[in-house]
Amino acid sequence: MAESHGNEGATAHTEADGGHKAPFPPFQKDTFASQLVSLLIAFVALYLIVSRIALPRVGGVLDARQNKIEGDLSGAQKLTDDSDAALKAYESELAAARSRAQAIGTETREKLNAASEAERKTLEERLSVKLAEAEKTIAATREAAMSNVRGIASEAAAAIVQRLTGTVPDGQSVDRAVDASLKG
């Protein structure tokens, strides 16, 4: 029932205009000038709202962002400068520490070399004393052995000559022969 009522109203309106459909209202010639005036008023009002309210707010936001960015950049530059200064201080401290370590190493090396040189000299002195004593002992042992060797050689030579010839040789001639053979 609502449909028939709605259709009847639309049909009645069309019939009242003489069967022609009405043009789209913004394109009606008799209201065109007033529409242009209202459009102009709307654009002026929009311009005033945008220029007085919206643009200053956007400009303020942009300025605040720019100030924030500049502040962050200056803070970053300050931190970079601080880190560079800290790095230079660290490098200089590291170089000083290396220098001290090398000096300590050199000093320790010199002390150890001096101590080892002193110990070496002491050891050489003790060894030279022991060597002299050993040489004396060897010389005494050699003389004792040589005197025994001379006696043994004389006895052996006399026994060999007696065995080969059957006669006992003269002791002096055997001693001279042994001495000649021992000398060379």
Q: Which tens digits make up the pLDDT trace of 124-163?
A: 999 999 999 999 999 988 888 777 777 888 888 888 888 8
Distance CA 88, CA 85 (A): 5
pLDDT band at 102 (very low <50, low <70, confident <90, very high): very high
Report, as an integer, the average pLDDT of 174-178. 83
pLDDT, residue 75, reads: 95
Inter-CA distances, 58 with 52, 54, 68, 136, 179, Å: 11, 6, 15, 113, 131
Distance CA 125, CA 121 (A): 6
Weakest mean pLDDT among 19-28, 71-80, 123-132, 140-149: 19-28
pLDDT band at 95 (very low <50, low <70, confident <90, very high): very high
pLDDT band at 16 (very low <50, low <70, confident <90, very high): low
Distance CA 67, CA 61 (A): 10
How many other C-beta atoms can be found within 10 angstroms of the C-beta atom of residue 155?
A: 12
pLDDT at 15 over 90: no
Q: Which residue has the higher pLDDT, 97 or 175?
A: 97
Q: Which tens digits make up the pLDDT trace of 103-121?
A: 999 999 999 999 999 999 9
Give Cα 11 to chain centroid, integer Å: 94
Residue 28, φ and ψ in degrees, nearest 5: -75, 135
pLDDT at 35 over 90: no
Report, as an integer, the average pLDDT of 17-26. 69
Tokens of 13: 């309106």
Instruction: Yes or no: say if 122 and 130 are a contact pair by the CB < 8 Å rule.
Output: no
Distance CA 173, CA 184 (A): 17
**Residue 46: how many CA atoms within 13 Å on its side-chain side?**
6
Report, as an integer, the average pLDDT of 49-61. 90
Q: Where are the domains of the chain?
A: 65-183
Distance CA 142, CA 133 (A): 14
Weakest mean pLDDT among 25-29, 45-49, 79-83, 101-105: 25-29
pLDDT band at 1 (very low <50, low <70, confident <90, very high): very low
How many other C-beta atoms can be found within 10 angstroms of the C-beta atom of residue 158?
A: 19
